[in-house]
Amino acid sequence: MLGVFSGEVVEAPEELVLAGSRTPSPKTRAGELVDRFIRKTEGAVSVRLGSLAQLAYSHSQQSPLRPRLFGVKEEIFCLFEGNLDNLGRLRQHHGLSKNANEVVLVMEAYKALRDRAPYRPSTMLAHLSGSFAFLIFDLATSTLLVARVSLRIELN
């Protein structure tokens, strides 16, 4: 999975900027980075969202235990890898059909909280359980939400 965003959406971390300034080689432009990913990754798909973002992913070398999914709904774009342990319960909570997968659920949860001020969309992260990584880009608000959970935590 690859997401490249313009400075209008997110600022590069200062540590990366400082590290990059010490390298004499020319910097790789966003378009070149995405093109390289597409050339070197079998079956890669990319989506360009104007000048704000480019997303790319592939099912190549995908683990059956950590599937990669892509979804779009009402200008909300989502790349998701992994699985949610509580998918069934969350489907029911959000009124989704039994065939709704993780990417659909994450987009719906994000949208529900985004539309219900004063809740921050990131509030949904507390309700997700499993091993996953995702990014959501909301084109309507130029908002980026990125999350990664790699450890399963069991609560007694």
What digits encode the pLDDT tens for the residues 4-46? 888 888 887 777 667 666 666 777 788 888 999 999 999 999 9
Contacts of 116 (CB under 8 A, 6+ apart): none
Contacts of 121 (CB under 8 A, 6+ apart): 110, 113, 114, 136, 143, 145
Quote the CA–CA distance of 143 and 51 in Å, as a whole number.
Answer: 14
Q: What is the distance, to the nearest Å, from the Cα of residue 70 to the centroid of all Cα atoms in its chain?
A: 9
Residue 142 banded pLDDT, cuts 50, 70, 90 = very high
Asked if pLDDT for residue 69 goes beyond 70, the answer is: yes
End-to-end CA distance of the chain: 34
- Assigned architecture for domain 62-156: 4-Layer Sandwich (3.60)
Query: What is the predicted pLDDT for the residue at 19?
Result: 67
Q: What is the distance, to the nearest Å, from the Cα of residue 55 to the centroid of all Cα atoms in its chain?
A: 9
Asked if pLDDT for residue 65 goes beyond 60, the answer is: yes
User: What confidence tens digit (pLDDT) does each residue in 98-116 have?
Assistant: 999 999 999 999 999 888 8
Count of CB atoms situated within 10 Å of the CB of 95: 9
Q: Give the global pTM.
A: 0.81
So where are the chain's domains?
A: 1-61, 62-156
Mean pLDDT of 81-89: 95
Closest CA to 152 of 78, 83, 81: 83
Query: What is the predicted pLDDT for the residue at 31?
Result: 85
